[in-house]
Every structure is written in structure tokens, then in C-alpha cells.
């Protein structure tokens, strides 16, 4: 952490003269509303028109609760989204259009975890802005860009599902089109956040200082990260534009499309439950009118995507509400102090938590992601057990199989991604190759080949497609 220790420009003086002290007291960036300690009055001292604030904003118990809460969602975000990326990239059969969009969501969530959660936590603990001007611009840009990319990706997913369910005879999106769509999503996200990144700056608050541990011999200048537009009214205009383009309009479109999808699924279920005549039933792949039948697997995917979109909407709603209230509510200094001291940190935490829960949703609704998550845990557990001494490791391998270098592990109805070191299987059946050849692995779509020594200590894992 870099603490600014020398006085530079006093750029907030002009803002105070033209728009009043509220702009100076509530300096902030869009989507990343940093706490300006000029609002924080606990232990504040004013001497000769110089105002002193405590270096730390909160007491130790409150600060500890902030740290634990943010650390929890940070770890969950990093681990969960990294696993999602590995599962999609490590398995060719997982590289569908929908999964590519889910991969893009995971990447944007990782950016939030890396660039936004740590800086927001530190800013909520320390009075003023403790980082450099570059970090100020980068944090605001990355958070706004990742949020815009997430909501645009949710729109793309809704469009893909809408075309697939409501208009099933139209050509489906190809992987090439999906990749081009993802590239366009990031270009639009960068473009819409460029004004914020250009306006974000760090400036010293005139006649405001931070005091470390109430020792007035240890004072630091107070700096603020805020959007310095040429016309202060432009901030309100820009807030409204952002709210419309990356929250209200996209989520309205998502709601309408999923509403149409829900109606389609309901009519499909009702028609499938209607009593049939004595005539032979139609082929299971189509309805009576020749329309494709919607499988239960697709219905489950739709439910998963609706939950993802709904949680995104609810998670970001409080933060958007607070930003609009700050710009248009005409709040007093005490009200702003309450918002920036406690409510904004919670709203940020709730918004960031959305980046952490998506992998949990994927694992709950989607069997492929669930198997991928289980495979990582089972691989680590299997390797650890394999490295134990043989006498402590009872196994089903016979003496004949121990004398051979090659054994086969059959995975019953489980997907083992090609090229990945995963054992996606609850219970392994170790079979000697001499007894059971490749084409007789029971109920197995894929098999994992292991080169294993007679002591069962050194294991070389590779995946082979059968």
C-alpha cells in the first residue's frame, strides 16, 4: 500500500466554490464509490480551520468483521471461478455456446476478485484514498468494465436460449459467432467506462489530515479518489446513462425473454401431459406438430440461467440505489456519513458476492460442472492415497495385476475430460488388462490409463479416449 505523504494539487477547492461542500465530502467514482473520510466525524478535531480525522475508520471488531466478510467472498470467488475456467477449457465437450458465455462470466468475476475486492476493502478500512492515481483509475475501470461485461453476457445468454426455445427452427449460434460476441461485449464494456476512467483522479482535500492513533505528530494528507468532470452536472448525467445501459435496459430485456421462455416451457409441459389417443405415440424427439420437444436437460439449464440473472439483479440493486440516491437525493452530511461509513461497504460486499455464488449455482444445477468440481477433489484424494505405503493402502488389485505395469480404471457413466488429469468417479474398479480388454469396460464411455509401478508409489496419469 502506498500512502501519499506530500501535498500536491488542491483541486477540491474549486469544486467546493462552485457546487458546495457536498461534492468534496462525497467524492466517489461510479460503481466503485469510495469512502471519503471527510464525512467521518468520530474523533474529528478542527483547529485553525484544519480538520483531523483518524487514520482508521472503524474500531477493531468492525474492521475484523469487514476483513472476514471480504476475505470469504474473495476466496470463494477465486477458487470457484478458476475451477469453472478449468472445467470448460479442459473438456472439449464442455465448449458449447452457453458454456463459452459462462466462461466469460467467470473471467469477469475473476477480474472483480483480483482488482476490486482488495482495494475496496482497504479503502473501507482506511480514511481517504490510500493508493495511487493509477490504482484509482484502474479499479474504477476494471469494476465498471467487468460489471458491464457480465450484464451484456447475461443478455447474450438470454438471446441464445430465447432463439433455441421460442424459435427452435432458426439456425443456432455457432462457436465462432459466440467468440465474436464475447469480443464485442468487452469492446462495448471498455467504451462505456472510458469516460469514468478518464475523469477519475486522486487529489488532496484541502485542510484535511489523517491522524495515526490520535498522535498529532503523525499526520498524513487526506486524499480522495473521485470523478473530476469539467461540469459537475455531468456526473449525474453519466450516472443515469450507466444505470440505463448496464442495469435497467439489459435486465428488462432479460426479464422479457425469460418470460417468453417460461411461457413456452409451460405450454410444452401442458401439451405433453394431454391424454393421447390409442394411436401409436409420436417419436419422442418431436411434438405432434413436428416441433422439437424440449428436453428436461434444457429446462434445467434454463432454470440455472434464470437464477444467475435474478441473483445478479438483486445483488447489484442496493449499490445502484445508493449511487442514484447520492446523486439525486440531496442528502445532508450526517446522512452521507451513515451511507459511506457502513451502508456502502455492505452494498459493495453484496455486489461482489455475486461473483462468488455463480460457480455454486453451476454446480447445483448442471451435472457437468458438478462432476468437474467433484473430479478435482477426487483426483487430489486419489493421488494422496496412492502415495501412501502399500501395506497401509488396501485396494482391489490382485497379485497378477500388481505384477503388470498397466491397469485400467473404469468410470461408470462418468465423463472424464480428454487431456485432463481428472478421475471423475466415486468408486474405482481396478481391472487387469489381461482379464478385461478395452472394449469390455462395463458401462464406461471413457477410461483412464495409468502407468503404475509394482509398489504403487509412482503414478503417471494420462487420459485415453476409448
Is residue 446 within 8 A of residue 420, CB to CB? The reply is: no
The pTM of the whole model exceeds 0.85? no
pLDDT of residue 6: 34
Q: What span, in angstroms and rounded, lies between the C-alpha atoms of 362 and 304?
A: 7
pLDDT average, residue stretch 14-26: 35
pLDDT of residue 27: 38
pLDDT of 75 above 50:
yes
pLDDT of residue 82: 93
Of 73-82, 293-302, 304-313, the range with the lowest mean pLDDT is 293-302
pLDDT of residue 73: 95
pLDDT of 114 above 80:
yes
- More confident call, 228 vs 219: 228
Confidence of residue 42 (pLDDT cuts 50, 70, 90): very low
pLDDT of 187 above 60:
yes
Q: What is the pLDDT of residues 273-305, one digit of tens each?
A: 665 544 555 555 444 444 555 667 777 788 888
Of 229-238, 327-336, 362-371, 409-418, the range with the lowest mean pLDDT is 409-418
Alpha-carbon Rg for the chain in angstroms: 28
Of 256-260, 326-330, 349-353, the range with the lowest mean pLDDT is 326-330
pLDDT of 466 above 70:
no
pLDDT of residue 44: 57
pLDDT of residue 2: 35
pLDDT of 427 above 50:
no
- Of 309, 352, 359, 307, the C-alpha closest to 72 is 352
pLDDT of residue 353: 92
Q: What span, in angstroms and rounded, lies between the C-alpha atoms of 27 and 88?
A: 41
- More confident call, 275 vs 196: 196
- More confident call, 357 vs 408: 357
pLDDT of 106 above 50:
yes
pLDDT of residue 280: 54
pLDDT average, residue stretch 101-112: 92
pLDDT of 24 above 80:
no
Cite the DSSP H helix spans in 91-132: 97-111, 117-125
pLDDT of 337 above 80:
no
Is residue 110 within 8 A of residue 81, CB to CB? The reply is: yes
pLDDT average, residue stretch 325-346: 79
Quote the percentage of the chain above a pLDDT of 90.
22
pLDDT of residue 421: 36
pLDDT of residue 188: 95
pLDDT of residue 419: 35
- More confident call, 165 vs 70: 70
Q: Secondary structure of 153-222 in the HEC alphabet?
A: HHHHHHHHHHHHHCCCCCCCCCHHHHHHHHHHHHHHHHHHHHHHHHHEEEEEEEEEEEEECCEEEEEEEE
Find cell 497379485 and name the residue: 399
Of 42-51, 89-98, 431-440, the range with the lowest mean pLDDT is 431-440
Is residue 127 within 8 A of residue 53, CB to CB? The reply is: yes
pLDDT of residue 338: 75
pLDDT average, residue stretch 44-58: 71
> Average pLDDT of the chain?
71
The residue extents of the domains of the chain are 12-272+286-365, 390-464
pLDDT of residue 182: 96
The CATH classification number of 12-272+286-365 equals: 1.20.1070.10
Instruction: DSSP letter for 56, please.
Output: B
Q: Which residues on neighbouring strands pair with residue 126, listed in sequence order?
A: 56
Quote the percentage of the chain above a pLDDT of 70.
63
Question: C-alpha 209: how far from its chain's center?
Answer: 37
pLDDT of residue 415: 41
Find cell 501412501 and name the residue: 388
pLDDT average, residue stretch 28-40: 42
pLDDT of residue 420: 34
Is residue 151 within 8 A of residue 250, CB to CB? The reply is: yes
Q: What span, in angstroms and rounded, lies between the C-alpha atoms of 291 and 113?
A: 44
Amino acid at each position: 500500500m502506498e500512502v501519499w505523504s506530500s501535498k500536491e494539487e488542491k483541486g477540491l477547492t474549486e469544486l467546493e466554490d462552485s457546487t458546495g461542500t457536498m461534492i468534496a465530502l462525497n467524492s466517489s467514482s461510479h460503481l466503485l464509490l469510495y469512502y471519503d473520510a471527510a464525512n467521518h466525524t468520530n474523533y474529528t478535531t478542527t483547529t485553525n480551520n484544519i480538520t483531523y480525522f483518524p487514520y482508521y475508520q472503524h474500531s477493531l471488531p468492525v474492521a475484523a468483521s469487514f476483513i472476514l466478510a471480504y476475505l470469504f467472498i474473495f476466496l470463494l470467488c477465486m477458487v470457484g471461478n478458476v475451477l469453472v475456467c478449468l472445467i470448460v477449457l479442459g473438456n472439449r465437450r464442455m465448449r458449447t455456446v452457453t458454456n463459452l458465455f459462462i466462461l466469460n462470466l467467470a473471467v469477469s468475476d475473476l477480474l472483480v476478485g483480483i482488482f476490486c475486492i482488495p482495494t475496496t476493502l482497504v479503502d473501507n478500512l482506511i480514511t481517504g484514498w490510500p493508493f495511487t492515481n493509477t490504482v484509482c483509475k484502474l479499479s474504477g475501470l476494471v469494476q465498471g468494465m467487468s460489471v458491464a461485461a457480465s450484464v451484456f453476457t447475461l443478455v447474450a445468454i438470454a438471446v441464445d436460449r430465447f432463439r433455441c426455445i421460442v424459435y427452435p427452427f432458426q439456425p443456432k449460434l455457432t462457436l465462432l459467432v459466440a467468440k465474436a460476441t464475447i469480443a464485442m461485449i468487452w469492446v462495448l464494456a471498455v467504451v462505456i467506462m472510458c469516460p469514468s476512467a478518464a475523469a477519475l483522479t486522486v487529489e488532496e482535500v484541502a485542510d484535511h489530515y489523517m491522524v495515526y492513533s490520535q498522535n498529532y505528530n503523525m499526520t498524513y494528507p487526506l486524499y480522495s479518489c473521485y470523478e473530476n468532470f469539467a461540469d459537475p452536472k455531468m456526473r449525474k448525467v453519466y450516472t443515469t446513462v450507466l444505470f440505463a445501459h448496464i442495469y435497467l435496459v439489459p435486465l428488462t430485456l432479460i426479464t422479457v425473454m425469460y418470460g417468453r421462455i417460461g411461457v413456452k416451457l409451460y405450454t410444452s409441459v401442458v401439451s405433453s401431459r394431454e391424454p393421447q389417443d390409442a394411436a401409436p405415440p409420436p417419436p419422442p424427439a418431436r411434438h405432434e406438430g413436428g416441433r422439437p420437444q424440449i428436453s428436461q436437460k434444457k429446462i434445467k439449464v434454463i432454470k440455472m440461467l434464470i437464477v444467475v440473472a435474478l441473483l445478479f439483479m438483486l445483488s447489484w440493486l442496493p449499490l445502484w440505489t445508493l449511487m442514484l440516491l447520492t446523486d439525486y437525493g440531496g442528502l445532508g452530511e450526517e446522512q452521507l456519513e451513515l451511507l459511506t461509513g457502513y451502508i456502502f461497504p455492505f452494498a459493495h460486499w453484496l455486489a461482489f458476492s455475486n461473483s462468488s455464488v455463480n460457480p455454486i449455482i453451476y454446480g447445483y444445477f448442471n451435472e457437468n460442472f458438478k462432476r468437474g468440481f467433484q473430479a478435482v477433489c477426487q483426483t487430489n484424494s486419489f493421488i494422496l492415497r496412492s502415495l501412501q505405503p502399500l501395506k497401509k493402502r488396501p485396494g482391489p488389485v490382485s497379485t497378477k495385476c500388481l505384477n503388470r505395469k498397466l491397469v485400467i480404471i473404469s468410470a461408470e457413466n462418468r465423463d472424464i475430460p480428454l487431456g485432463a488429469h481428472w478421475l471423475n468417479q466415486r468408486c474405482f474398479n481396478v481391472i487387469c488388462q489381461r482379464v478385461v480388454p478395452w472394449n469390455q469396460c462395463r458401462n464406461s464411455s471413457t477410461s483412464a490409463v495409468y502407468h503404475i509401478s509394482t509398489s504403487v508409489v509412482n503414478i503417471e496419469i494420462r487420459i485415453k479416449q476409448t
